[in-house]
């Protein structure tokens, strides 16, 4: 699979604050790539560097193979903050100004308004739009000139549930039409529902990156106990497929590879001459895993 963006050891400081620390990952072509992390994790700083708004202290990045940043920017539509649309102008007039700023010569305003489902309101003044419609017009402005890659910073921020659903559907639709999308978000739910790949940032550190179904796989845990906990711990640590075993008082919490069930563990312990007095499967949600990753 081709790489749209390759990031190599990007670092950025603001005085004593290290906003990014040696961040590296690749964005495959055709994916929806979520940069996920709590507020203050460095997501917006990273997008600013990648769009040449900010300069990195160290590290490098390459867009679209070997294109220079200037050439690549012509193939990227970006929404870092809500554009300054004029409230008293229509969608068509606002997009005309946006196209002029981008030096777009082809008039594809009707095409982009149709993509974001605003064609019927093309002549309505911006001030009559709902928040969701305003955000869809902002996304329409990023589509001017048919860019290959779209970059969005928190695209559903401040929207009501209906507006959030609209933007999520639009992102899926644009991806299905061939756009690679990179989006920053602090919402696990958003990344889980929309993204194919994810990078998780915390205070400037890259914790994990890769396909969503691998990085955010929920890990079930199994709790066990027996009459002699020390003996049980010594035995269970020899079990294949065990990821970790943590003792707390008289119970041991196990994390295991996929496919290991409580029945496997019970049989293993019985075969080693240990009778379990306690065996409990604890389902771990993605939200719990994300909180564990991003909290101290």
DSSP character for 90? B
CA angle 58–59–64, rounded 5-degree value: 145
Question: Above 60 in pLDDT, residue 177?
Answer: yes
Strands (DSSP E) along the chain, which ranges?
3-14, 17-28, 32-36, 58-63, 76-79, 149-153, 180-185, 197-202, 205-211, 221-226, 242-248, 251-256, 276-282
Only one residue has tokens 């027996």, namely: 226
Q: Which residues contact 271 (CB under 8 A, 6 or more apart)?
A: none
pTM for the whole thing?
A: 0.79
What local confidence, expressed as pLDDT, does residue 212 receive? 87
> What pLDDT digit, counting tens, does each position of 203-236 carry?
999 988 999 888 776 667 889 999 999 999 999 9
Q: What is the structure's pLDDT at 261? A: 85
Query: How is residue 158 annotated by DSSP?
Result: T
> What are the φ/ψ torsions at residue 38 (nearest 5 degrees)?
-65, 165
CA–CA dist 116, 3 (Å, integer) = 27
- Asked if 122 and 91 count as a contact pair (C-beta separation under 8 A), the reply is yes
Tokens read off for 158? 């401040």
What the block records as the tokens of 78 is: 């970006």
Residue 56 pLDDT exceeds 80: yes
Q: Which among 184, 178, 191, 252 has a CA at the least distance from the CA of 221?
A: 252
Name the phi and psi angles at 236, rounded to 5. Answer: -70, -25
Domains with residue ranges and CATH for the chain = 3-215 (3.40.50.300), 221-294 (3.30.70.100)
Confidence of residue 291 (pLDDT cuts 50, 70, 90): confident
């Amino acid at each position: 699979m081709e790489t749209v963006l390759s990031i190599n050891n990007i670092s950025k400081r603001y005085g004593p604050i290290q906003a990014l620390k040696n961040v590296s990952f690749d964005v495959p072509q055709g994916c929806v790539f979520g940069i996920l992390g709590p507020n203050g994790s460095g997501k917006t700083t990273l997008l600013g560097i990648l769009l040449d708004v900010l300069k990195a202290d160290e590290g490098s990045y390459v867009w679209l193979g070997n294109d220079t940043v200037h050439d690549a920017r012509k193939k990227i539509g970006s929404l870092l903050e809500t554009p300054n649309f004029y409230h008293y102008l229509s969608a068509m007039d606002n997009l005309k100004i946006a196209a002029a700023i981008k030096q777009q010569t082809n008039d594809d305003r009707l095409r982009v308004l149709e993509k974001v489902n605003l064609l019927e309101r093309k002549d309505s003044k911006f001030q009559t739009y709902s928040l969701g419609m305003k955000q869809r017009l902002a996304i329409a402005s990023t589509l001017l000139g048919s860019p290959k890659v779209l970059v969005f910073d928190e695209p559903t921020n401040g929207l009501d549930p209906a507006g959030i659903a609209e933007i999520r559907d639009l992102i899926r639709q644009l991806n299905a039409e061939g756009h690679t999308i990179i989006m920053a978000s602090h919402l696990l739910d958003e990344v889980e529902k929309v993204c194919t790949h994810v990078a998780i940032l915390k205070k400037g550190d890259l914790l994990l990156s890769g396909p969503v179904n691998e990085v955010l796989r929920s890990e079930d845990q199994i709790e066990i106990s027996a009459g002699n906990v020390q003996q049980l711990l010594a035995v269970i640590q020899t079990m294949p497929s065990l990821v970790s075993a943590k003792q707390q008082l008289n119970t041991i919490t196990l994390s295991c590879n996929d496919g290991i069930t409580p029945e496997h563990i019970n049989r293993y312990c019985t075969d080693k001459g240990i009778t379990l007095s306690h065996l409990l499967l604890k389902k771990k949600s993605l939200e719990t895993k994300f909180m564990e990753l991003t909290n101290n």
